[in-house]
Structure 1
Amino acid sequence: MYTTTIHTPVGLAVISGNEDGISSVRVSNEPGPDSAFVPAVLHKCARQLEEYFLNRRRSFDLPLRPQGTPFQRAVWQMLREVPYGKTMSYLELTRRLGDEKAIRAVAAANGRNPIWIIIPCHRIIGSNGDLTGYAGGLGRKKWLLEHEQVANGQLSLF
């Protein structure tokens, strides 16, 4: 496993993976050790994240290799279908997965998303429009949603 770190407006993005793809992107307040060798796919991920923060990218073209249960991977795949600049409620996400009773499991899978921003768990909100739960902190979630709204030419959600 290789690691590289980039600075973003909301903290450090620590990108991990190998030649086959990205296994995690996490936000951190503390720098960690970067690998002496960094595969091309990690450099590509870093470049695409930088483009996202510069409002030059709305989708990502990267091989992703998140580790999780089949259910978690199904939730993460559904998250990737939420368009840039849009939000979806946990309840709507659960309904799209086919079992409204699984809302807690869906929320838990969302919270365990290992690939920050690229698998856009920040786009999932409460049914009443409230920002709820975010592993990176609600301040970051709000910033990311506003960043996408402004880039779409819309007024802030909040």
Structure 2
Amino acid sequence: MKPTRSTAAPQSDAQRAMLEVVQRWHDLYNSDDVEGFVLKNYAKDANVWFTGASAHGHDQFLSVEAGVKKGAPGRYMRIDHLHFLDDERVIVEAVVLDRARPDFYSPWIAILTIQDGKIVDDRTYLDPSRWPGIEQVLDVVTPGGLGSSQDQ
């Protein structure tokens, strides 16, 4: 992962470890290994919040990611900026792209909380209408998500 713009330099060993997690998260997202993306990056009981919905735990999130990947097999992310908030949280400014549609892009931001080398909380702000494959998982996600009264 080489952000195309700027990345804050890690200021502690914990932040350097978080950078390694973000690197693995990026690389596996951009691969065909959906199961590895979820299992290697997220804690078993991780909460993933995104605009309009959420997923809780490996099983539900794996179903979401598998469905999105099926609907948009050419999707991938480009990380533009990283901002370390502290020794457990990092903000990722990124863009989702789609190899099937070279003119497509959709910017998004994730606030990741990382503990013991795994993401325990993922708060991704995105425009669901511009997220390839999302229509494949509407029956899998938990309604609500970021911005709703159910947002935690």
TM-score normalised by the shorter chain: which range applies? under 0.3
* TM-score (ref. length: structure 2): 0.27
- Relative to the length of structure 1, the TM-score reads 0.27
The structure that has the greater radius of gyration is: 1
If each structure's helix is expressed as a fraction of its own residues, which one has the higher value? Answer: 1
1 or 2, which has the higher strand percentage? 2
Q: Point out which structure has higher relative CO (alpha carbons under 8 A, 6+ apart).
A: 2
